[in-house]
Structure 1
Amino acid sequence: MNVIQCYAPTNDYNEDAKDQFYDRLQSIVKKCPAKELTILMVDFNAKVGMDNTGYEDIMGRHGLGEKNKNGERFSKLCAFNKLVIGGTIFSYKCIYKTTWTSPDYTTQNQITISASTKRSGGL
């Protein structure tokens, strides 16, 4: 089993820093043996949302909100490495999906996301 834990730059960070982060993460993920379970446990500062168009093989339609740029980066990384995005497969109440709430309690997001190796048999 391979467990990778990290903290991704926020959506507001400059693009070069985010590129470096995802390039480094990709180099780590590709070193994990394909036959072993790989789990990403991180705060990706990414919103993958509910729209799984183009990513049906690696995520469900039960995310929270709308996908942001970091969510798109994360989705591409997961698709490339055949990692299933957790928190999107099964329907849960929003209270259980929310990982960040604004100080005035008006905005809720799901930014802490996990992903793991896709097993045979589909989602």
Structure 2
Amino acid sequence: MIKYAPTFDSEDVEIEKFYEEIEKAKGYLKSQDVIIVMGDFNAKVADESVEDVGPSGIGTVNERGSRLIEWYQINNFTITNTWYQNHPRLQWTWKSPRDRSKNKKDYILIQKRF
């Protein structure tokens, strides 16, 4: 299933609907299926001391990041691409116009058991 995350100017209702649709899609899968959720969540999880967030984040956690953390903890996932130590120039996945700021907003989540 392909679903686009709400943009930064979206209302909280749209964000909750997005996570509900992910839950609905999970409901169609078998318990033994490998579930990978990935994409641009418009979230920053940084390198906070949160369970299953690795040390290679950028910046500080934003509201969308907090919501993503809440979702993956409830659903027993981990954010895999925060665990790889890369050179700082290779960590960011988004760059603002005129190169003023860089962030990591794209994530790959997988169930902890895998």
Q: CA 1:116–1:48 in structure 2 vs 1: closer, same or farther (change >3 Å)? A: same
Q: Residue 79 and residue 31 in structure 1: after superposition, are their counterparts in 2 closer, same or farther (change >3 A)?
A: farther
Instruction: Give TM-score scaled by structure 2 length.
Output: 0.87
Distance 1:60 1:111 in 2: 14
Where does 1:18-97 land on structure 2 (aligned, <5 Å)? Answer: 18-53=15-50, 56=51, 58-97=52-91
* 2:40 partner amino acid: D
RMSD between aligned alpha carbons? 1.7
| d(CA) in 1 for partners of 2:90, 2:42 | 17
CA contact (8 A) 1:5 1:40 kept: no
Q: Which residue of 1 aligns with 2:95?
A: 101
Instruction: Give the letter aligned to residue 83 of structure 1.
Output: F
* Count of matched residue positions in the alignment of Structure 1 and Structure 2: 114
Give structure 2 stretches of 5+ with no counterpart: none
Percent sequence identity is 28
Per the alignment, in what secondary structure is the counterpart of residue 67 of structure 1? coil
How big is the shift at 1:114? Answer: 1.0
C-alpha separation in 2, matches of 1:5 and 1:46 = 18
Superposition deviation, residue 30 in structure 1: 4.1
Task: Identify if the C-alpha distance between structure 1 residues 119 and 101 changes in structure 2 by more than 3 Å, giving closer, same or farther.
Answer: same
TM value normalised by structure 1:
0.81
- Give 1:114's aligned amino acid: I
Gaps of 5+ in 1: none
Q: State the shift of 1:52 in Å.
A: 3.1
- Which structure shows the bigger proportion of residues in helix conformation? 2
Q: Distance in 1 between matches of 2:104 and 2:35?
A: 21
